[in-house]
Amino acid sequence: MPDDARRAIDPGFLDIARQGAAFGAADLVAAQAKRAAFGAAMDRLLARLDGLLSPGAAIPAFGAGLEVPADGPYRRWTEWASFSFPINLSQQPALVLPCGVTRTGLPVGLQIVGARGEDARVLAIGAATERILSGLPA
């Protein structure tokens, strides 16, 4: 990619791409096998549950356009997004709803996760949760 095009790309993304370029085909295959095993474990768990609830993020909201909070100890988004990126890796459908605020008024999210292929169930749980949080009958 020409240098002038690289300047238009997020520096964090370029750094992650640089790190990824160090991995070979065998590393990719091994990582895909681990991802498949993790997805299968999530499938087994969610076969017994209607859904899984967790925080949307491990930390409060911070400035828009930043990968990490300006005043925090984090270097990469994966250090604070531990509730969401594993769900993306396992390919489960999920959504995050606003469910309150911190003491300082920052938004807090509730993540709802479902079994693979159960997108409609996740949306239905989300809709019912919104009604409950707003004080309407579920």
Q: Output the CA torsion 62→65→70→74 (10° steps).
A: 90
Taking residues 100-110, what's their average pLDDT? 91
Query: Which strands make up the sheet holding 107-113, listed edge to edge?
Result: 52-55, 107-113, 94-101
CA–CA distance, 60 with 50 (Å, rounded to integer): 27
Query: What whole-number distance in Å separates Cα of residue 78 and Cα of residue 19?
Result: 14
Identify the helix (H) or strand (E) that includes residue 135. none
Residue type, 48: R
- pLDDT at position 97 is 95
Three-class SS of residue 132? helix
pTM as predicted: 0.82
Pick 67 or 111 by higher pLDDT. Answer: 111
User: Using one digit for the tens of pLDDT, what is the confidence trace for 63-100?
Assistant: 888 889 988 899 888 889 889 889 989 999 999 999 98
